[in-house]
Every structure is written in C-alpha cells, then in structure tokens.
Amino acid sequence: MARTRGGKQKEGIGETIRTIVWAIAIALVFRTFLFQPFWIPSGSMKSTLLIGDYLFISKYSYGYSKHSFPWSLGPFDGRIFASEPERGDVIVFKHPRTNEDFIKRLIGLPGDRIQMRGGRLFLNDEEVPQARIADFIEPIDPSRTRCIDKPTIGGEVVCAKEAWTETLPSGRSYTVLNADGNLSAATDNTRVFTVPEGQYFFMGDNRDNSNDSRQGVGFVPYENLVGRAEIIAISSDGPFYEIWNWRWSRFLTVIR
C-alpha cells in the first residue's frame, strides 16, 4: 500500500530528529570521554598559550570525575580509571570555589614545598634553573601594561617581557615570562606552600599576570582536574571569521 505524502513527510521529520539526537549523543560522548575543545580567554599562560588559541584537551589522561561531564553533572564522586598527572603538564581544572574552568601548568605534586623568591621558583628547597632567552614582544594592551620595557618597533609601542626557559628536575622545559622585574610581592616573593595529599599546585607561565595557586586559586583537588592540554588546533588574533588574523604558525602545535 502506497504511503501518503503526509506519511512521507512525517517519516522524514522523524528521521531528521533521530539523526540530530544521534549527532548530539556522539558529540557528548566524544567531549566527555575523549577530547574537549577549549578556548584561551586570558594571557596567564603566555607565551605557551595566547588569547585566541583554540585547543583540545584529553579527557582520559587522568581518568574521569564528575567534572569530566558537562556542567560537572557526573553521577559519582572521586575519580575512576585514575592516572596521576606529571609535574609540568598544562591542565584544565575547575576552580575549587567558583567551579570556573582554569588552565595552568602543574608545578606542585602532593607533599611538595613550593616557594617563589625574587621571581625564581624553588621546589622542595631547590631553585629550579632558568636560562635567559630573547624577550617576548607583544602590542601594548591598554588594560594590562605591566612590562619591563616599552620600546617602539615600526612606530608602534610594544610591551617587552623578559623570557626564560625554566627546567624542572625531570628535565622538562618551558618558557616563563617576567613582566615587572621581580618586584611583585604577591607573586614573586611568597611563603612556602606545602601541597596537601590529594591536591595540586598550579602556576601560569606568565608569572606576573596569573591568578593561580599562589593567591586566588589555592590548592586544587585531584577530583577537579578536567584534562590535559594536548594541541593547539587553530589560533586567531581577533574574530575567527577574519582569516587575516589567523596565526598560521600555531596551527596543530603540540603543547609542552
């Protein structure tokens, strides 16, 4: 018996709805258990990560907690399939009090003693070595003009920040920035932080412009880790639709 036109239309609508439902389900599974996209909204991780970087974080790196699920609606407490993070990992985590997404570098493991003295990192009472490299140069941001020098390049006033390669005891290296000549009492000279069991200590690579475990964030519980930053997929210094603002050299860059 032939179907009526109305019956065909209903069948077509039903198929469309099923397709949309399956697409949403697959996207939720992918985002929850495999990879989650993440946009960098601030400069606290310069020069490793820049405002406008779009990256993927691996959700399986440290196992899963309720924060692995959208809106932190996981049906359990603690972590399952847990794996310990490594010092130096760049990690997205939930702020312990506000539940906002933050991204910083893991500096302190449980039991570690962390202190900043004169802008230098001390880990378990040993200074972490730094080696001076070329300044990090960027245009002046009217809202954030803290920088050691403000030279003029090509007629434009820019901000020059000291850049250093910092090397952890494991041999892992990354770049950190010094924006104000180690004069920031709150971030460059701190008390000794002893990391409690089951918690972690994070810092931004842009050391003088980062709200992290040294001040507002504090220690971060293991349960709050969301995932490890893996790769910068694309990057744009402006609205994404403005192709001329794309930072092509940062596309598909592995995060270290």
Catalytic residue annotation: 44, 104
Nearest 5°: phi and psi at 246? -70, 140
- In the chain, the amino acid numbered 44 is S
The closest alpha carbon to 148, from 116, 188, 114, belongs to: 188
- In the chain, the amino acid numbered 224 is N
Query: Are 160 and 136 spatial neighbours (Cβ–Cβ below 8 Å)?
Result: yes
- 50: Cα within 13 Å, side-chain hemisphere: 18
Q: How many angstroms separate the CA atoms of 92 and 99, rounded?
A: 12
* Sequence-separated (6 or more) residues with CB below 8 Å from residue 139: 156, 158, 159
State the residue for tokens 């010092």. Answer: 87
